[in-house]
């Protein structure tokens, strides 16, 4: 059956040996946790499990949703084949030492953002390989209509994110982070983890409202990319947001300013909007997940699927995953 073939191919691509992502390294990558397994993740886990978002397989796609919720063991959740053992150990040692972790330190803020950025590049690389497989499997008509625009988007995304990856690596090597601006905000405790880069398409980037294919050809890479981290620790959750000084994002600046001043109810709605409208990669505690009614979860899956290719700053939803129901 075609579904079985697709699922087997997806598993094979995800299990392919990868090379360390730190610039110039040729060693094989090991499974890296995006966030600290024995601190941040374990703290919000339940029986060493968390809830995350997983791409729908060929069978689940028939339900019409791009992603499904999945309960995953802490050894596998929020992981990717990112770095060799040497670089995974040495580069991120400052943020793996929970006793000396400082979420207001630019070095530590950059390390969280760099690792989240690398996982997104790797996910896009895997998606390109998946699309290349589909191009040799699907009928030609469906191929051209469905796979080519997707592949173009992922290739552009890798090119853009790779610029910021190199900027982070230069900063890490030189121990100078003046090219980046980060803000850390202490928020009420919510058992949700995030570490991702975000591209928000601001209106003035396409003032003439050109069709995407034409606009894309005129677009200059790199473009504004933000780095968003949400880290629950002890009695609080910490939001770390930032960007490269040469490519500031006004949407992110507005979000940072809002979170600094907002009351708890507004903060919870902003975090919900991030998850529902912007993110494919997060982890939350089973306790938090169980508190969300089934009808709200279904609306979330539909809203997320409907907006999966939109990066507009004007995305809106009435859904609030985290309000008390």
Residue 231: which region, alpha, beta or left (left: phi > 0; alpha: psi -120 to 50)? beta
User: What residues are paired with 175 via a beta bridge?
Assistant: none
pLDDT at 17: 95
pLDDT range class, residue 212, cuts 50, 70, 90? low
Mapped onto helix, strand or coil, the DSSP state of residue 233 is strand
pLDDT at 153: 83
What are the structural domain ranges in the chain? 2-306
- Average confidence (pLDDT) over 204-221: 64
pLDDT at 310: 78
pLDDT range class, residue 195, cuts 50, 70, 90? very high
pLDDT in tens, 253-288: 999 999 999 899 999 999 999 999 999 899 999 999
How far apart (Å, rounded) are the C-alpha atoms in residues 75 and 38? Answer: 10
Residue 23 has pLDDT above 70, yes or no: yes
Give rounded-to-5 percent helix, strand, coil for the chain: 50, 20, 30
- In terms of C-beta density within 10 A (0-12 exposed, 13-18 middle, 19 or more buried), how is residue 181 classed? middle
How far apart (Å, rounded) are the C-alpha atoms in residues 237 and 34? Answer: 17
How far apart (Å, rounded) are the C-alpha atoms in residues 194 and 200? Answer: 17
pLDDT in tens, 296-323: 999 998 998 888 777 788 888 999 999 9
pLDDT range class, residue 11, cuts 50, 70, 90? confident
Q: 85-94, 101-110, 136-145, 255-264 — which is least confidently predicted?
A: 136-145
Q: Longest C-alpha distance within the chain, in Å?
A: 57
**Residue 283, H or E segment:** strand 282-284
pLDDT range class, residue 59, cuts 50, 70, 90? very low
Helix 148-174 vs helix 106-135: crossing angle, to nearest 10: 150
Residue 143 has pLDDT above 60, yes or no: no
pLDDT in tens, 37-55: 988 999 999 999 999 988 7
pLDDT at 280: 87
Helix 264-273 vs helix 250-261: crossing angle, to nearest 10: 150
Q: What percent of the chain shows pLDDT beyond 70?
A: 86
How far apart (Å, rounded) are the C-alpha atoms in residues 83 and 118? Answer: 9
Q: Determine how many CB atoms are found less than 10 A away from the CB of residue 139.
A: 8
Q: 183-187, 210-214, 302-306 — which is least confidently predicted?
A: 210-214
- Average confidence (pLDDT) over 58-75: 73
pLDDT in tens, 234-243: 999 999 999 9
- Average confidence (pLDDT) over 156-172: 96
Residue 141 has pLDDT above 60, yes or no: no
Q: Determine how many CB atoms are found less than 10 A away from the CB of residue 118.
A: 25
Average pLDDT of the chain, as a whole number: 88
């Amino acid at each position: 059956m075609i579904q079985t073939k697709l699922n087997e191919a997806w598993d094979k691509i995800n299990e392919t040996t990868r090379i360390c992502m730190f610039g110039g390294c040729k060693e094989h990558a090991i499974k890296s946790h995006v966030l600290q397994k024995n601190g941040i993740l374990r703290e919000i886990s339940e029986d060493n499990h968390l809830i995350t978002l997983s791409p729908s397989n060929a069978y689940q796609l028939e339900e019409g949703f791009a992603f499904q919720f999945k309960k995953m063991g802490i050894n596998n959740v929020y992981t990717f084949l990112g770095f060799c053992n040497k670089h995974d150990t040495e580069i991120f040692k400052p943020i793996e030492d929970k006793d000396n972790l400082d979420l207001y330190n630019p070095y530590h803020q950059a390390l969280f953002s760099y690792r989240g950025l690398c996982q997104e590049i790797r996910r896009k690389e895997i998606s390109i390989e998946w699309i290349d497989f589909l191009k040799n499997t699907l009928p030609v008509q469906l191929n051209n209509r469905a796979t080519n625009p997707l592949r173009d988007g992922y290739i552009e995304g890798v090119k853009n994110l790779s610029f910021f990856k190199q900027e982070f690596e230069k900063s890490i090597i030189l121990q100078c982070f003046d090219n980046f601006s980060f803000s850390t905000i202490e928020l009420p405790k919510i058992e949700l983890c995030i570490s991702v880069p975000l591209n928000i398409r601001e209106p003035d980037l396409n003032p003439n409202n050109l069709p995407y294919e034409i606009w894309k050809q005129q677009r200059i890479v790199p473009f504004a990319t933000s780095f968003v981290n949400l880290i629950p620790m002890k009695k609080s959750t910490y939001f770390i947001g930032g960007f490269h000084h040469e490519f500031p994002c006004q949407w992110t600046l507005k979000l940072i300013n809002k979170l600094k001043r907002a009351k708890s109810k507004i903060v919870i709605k902003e975090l919900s909007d991030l998850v529902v409208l912007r993110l494919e990669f997060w982890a939350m505690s089973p306790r938090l997940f169980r508190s969300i009614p089934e009808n709200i979860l279904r609306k979330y899956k539909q809203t997320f699927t409907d907006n999966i290719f939109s990066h507009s700053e004007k995305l809106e939803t009435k859904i609030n995953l985290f309000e008390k129901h």
